[in-house]
Amino acid sequence: MGDENAIKVDPIKSGPRSDQELMAHLAAQVGDGRLFKMDVDYTSQVDEAIPKADAIAAKGDVAGALESLSNLEKLSRLGSDMKSNTRIVQHMVKLCFDGKKWDLLNDTILTLSKKRLIIKMAIAKMIRDACEMVKKMPNEELKMKLVDTLRTVTAGKIYVEVERARLTSLVVKKLESEGKLEEATNLILELQVETYGSMEIKEKVEFLLEQMRLSVARADYIRAAIISNKISTKFFNSDKEEVQDLKIRFYNLMITIGLHDSKYLDVCRHYRALFDTPKIAADTEKSRMVLKCAVIYCLLAPHTNEQWDLLNRIALLRELELVPDYKALTELFINQELISWKNVIIRVYEKTLKKSTNGAVFDGKDGEKRWKDLHMRVGEHNMRVISKYYTQITFDRLSELLDFPLNDMETFLCNLIVSGAITDAKIHRPSRVVNLRARKANMEQLDQWASNVHKLTETLNKVSHLILKEQMVHRNLEAMQVN
């Protein structure tokens, strides 16, 4: 009952967290949820000290300005005056930045983060301010030096895990630009962002997609597939453009992973998900291309109940009428009729299949493999049709119907039997005959014959009853007309 009355909310947070939210988060990280009570209020002293420090820094003595604030920073920290301590540490970092004392800035951040009885919220706000300063550094060398300093002080601190993740992302981009792909991938994989409670879902997905991309770039497809399981596809059920962009990135990566493992049915599902994306649907050309790829990979997938169901659902799409060649191709595989590889697929559809997808499917070595796989799928379809109409068939006739050379036909048939596609088939090589249905025992045949006779007699009785009924009705009508 509670679930039915539940109010739906947007799981994606927006905007920076308030001080109350930060306090609650930091309190939860202490261990038992307690916060220290402020012993002394240093607000008035801080109000006096900050202008004096600014005056000293204005004369060029930034170190002297920091020295003037250091004693008050210690008193406010030991007195648990969180508000005053926060103001002081933030201002100390600001003085270094405004005075362009870059080495002093790094030293100050390191020193303040290692003090005894530090106030976590004060350090968190200081680090957040320093992260904003990273974007304003005058050159790349100083920027990366500050990033390294901040990553050092944020290591192992849960209350600044989001800031550390963002800083790590900057380092990863730099390493990748330098060609150090392995090092960059290992660094970003250290981030377990799915466990970060303070990070927004959208940002988590962006980090996970970056982990997937770098894993694919270094051909670590297994790890990329594992990371993909950490992303809930329900997140993509949004019409927001930025979410749709993330969805497209996600499914393009999943398609790359699926193609590497030749999981054509999964690739087809990914293209179907892209086809249902509003941003793709709005672009007619992209929409048609995605639909064509979905059809091709569905046909390339081995025949299973899932593949058959997906193929029929794709065939019912109204948009498929915009690509009539592909609609006709799906109907070929749905209809229980033989498909000639040479006269139909090669002569009619080869150019269409290889050119209409811009070579994305059947180009290169992988494309040649997929073309052979399509030949196999056509042969499997034909074999299923043949097994419905034949109980026995010669090698020569089967080779002719399948459009396979004799030796290739036998190998193909053996593979089908081993894979379980036609479980009852038996090959009798001396007589060069294939038995497509298992031989039944005498008693089983007799029982089946008796059952068929029983069904036939029931049908005859029903038909004779209907005929007699019609005759009686007509006799009554004729008698009424005579009277």
Residue 23 clears pLDDT 80, i.e. is over it: no
In angstroms, rounded to a whole number, what is the distance separating the alpha carbons of residues 137 and 115? Answer: 26
Give me the mean pLDDT over the 212-217 stretch.
94
**Range picked from 15-19, 284-288, 404-408, 476-480 for highest mean pLDDT:** 284-288
Residue 424 clears pLDDT 80, i.e. is over it: no
> Which is more confidently placed, 232 or 10?
232
Any idea which of 139-143, 227-231, 362-366 has the lowest mean pLDDT? 362-366
Any idea which of 27-36, 119-128, 365-374 has the lowest mean pLDDT? 27-36
Nearest to 296 by CA among 267, 318, 339: 267
Give me the mean pLDDT over the 289-294 stretch.
92
- Architecture of domain 372-435 in this structure: Orthogonal Bundle (1.10)
pLDDT 10s digits, 317-326 = 998 888 889 9
pLDDT band at 220; cut points 50, 70, 90: very high
What are residue 58's DSSP bridge partners? none
Give me the sign of the Cα torsion angle 306, 375, 430, 418. Answer: negative
Instruction: Give CA separation, 375 vs 246, 345, 365, in Å.
Output: 36, 9, 16
- Coil, helix or strand for 427? strand
What letter does residue 128 receive in the DSSP assignment? H
pLDDT band at 217; cut points 50, 70, 90: very high
What letter does residue 393 receive in the DSSP assignment? E
Q: Compute the 3-state secondary structure of the chain and give helix, strand, coil in percent, each to the nearest 5.
A: 70, 0, 25
What pLDDT is recorded for position 78? 87
In angstroms, rounded to a whole number, what is the distance separating the alpha carbons of residues 64 and 137? Answer: 23
The tokens describing 404, both together, are: 């396979």
In angstroms, rounded to a whole number, what is the distance separating the alpha carbons of residues 187 and 242? Answer: 26
What pLDDT is recorded for position 296? 92
Nearest to 248 by CA among 211, 226, 275: 275
What pLDDT is recorded for position 439? 63
pLDDT band at 37; cut points 50, 70, 90: low
- Taking the domains of the chain in order of start, what are their residue ranges? 18-155, 372-435, 453-483
Contact 432/395 with Cβ under 8 angstroms?
yes
Site of tokens 């002569």:
347
Contact 147/134 with Cβ under 8 angstroms?
yes
